[in-house]
Amino acid sequence: MLSEHLIRIILVILPALSVLGTKAEESLNHKNLSSWHDCSEEVGIDNPVLIFTDVYSDPPVVTKDSGQTVYKTITYNPSEDDGEKVLHEIKADFTQYYRLMDKFWMPFLYAPNLNMCKEHDNLCPLKPNDPTKVATDHPPLNKLTPYGLYRSKQVFKDALTGNKIGCVDMQFLYCETEQDENSDKCSSLLFEAGEEISYLRTG
């Protein structure tokens, strides 16, 4: 759990600071938002060996009372040099963002070196070419959490070498209720009326 690790809170006073992020962060807007993507190239991973598929949220729209479970299928595809190497320890750096005024991705939390093997007891040791489905349960958000669009960028690392081995970037919408996803209770600060966004699908 995050409480067991060093968590650094990043407070951004000037929204303009957010534009210093990656090209992917700069290019995302309300017309081309996607629910998740592989972000390996964005963080300098030329040949990722962790492949992410079937990434989704249940429920697809998070509400004030719902909580959330995020599912990911992770496949380890080692390079020829690694052969049949097994991953025994995996860590990840998490960065959380909030979409501010439909213009900027504002980082508000950075949690480095999270132990993924401890978080997911079925993940390690991770054998080559063996798709493994993991789930992360989140309780309902604090009542003071603002409604809107959130992102979680997760950079996975081989804990023994420190090398980055994969990256996944996910988005979810937080509303008062699922019926409010197009109302001012959820998205008035984020989207123009009538615009559509895609969510992490369910199942």
Model pLDDT for residues 39-70, shown as the tens digit of each residue? 999 999 999 999 999 999 888 888 888 889 99
Model pLDDT for residues 115-146, shown as the tens digit of each residue? 999 999 999 999 999 999 999 999 998 888 89
- Phi, psi (degrees; rounded to nearest 5) at 101: 55, 25
Model pLDDT for residues 16-31, shown as the tens digit of each residue? 333 333 333 333 333 3
The pLDDT of 92-113, averaged and rounded, is 92
pLDDT at 5 over 50: no
And the tokens for 118?
């401890």
d(CA 68, CA 120) in angstroms, rounded, equals 16
What is the pLDDT, as a whole number, of residue 193? 30
d(CA 89, CA 70) in angstroms, rounded, equals 21
pLDDT at 2 over 50: no
pLDDT at 14 over 80: no
d(CA 38, CA 50) in angstroms, rounded, equals 10
> What is the CA 127 to chain-centroid distance, rounded?
23
Fill in the DSSP letter of residue 126.
B
pLDDT band for 179, please (50, 70, 90 cuts).
low
103 or 15: which leads in pLDDT: 103
d(CA 26, CA 19) in angstroms, rounded, equals 6
What is the pLDDT, as a whole number, of residue 180? 57
What is the pLDDT, as a whole number, of residue 65? 86
Q: Is 117 helix (H, G, I), strand (E, B) or coil?
A: helix
% of the chain exceeding 70 in pLDDT = 69
Strands (E), the chain: 8-9, 36-38, 50-58, 61-63, 68-76, 90-100, 104-115, 132-138, 148-158, 164-175
The residue behind tokens 């957010």 is 18
d(CA 124, CA 118) in angstroms, rounded, equals 9
Contact 3, 119 (CB under 8 A): no
And the tokens for 203?
């199942």
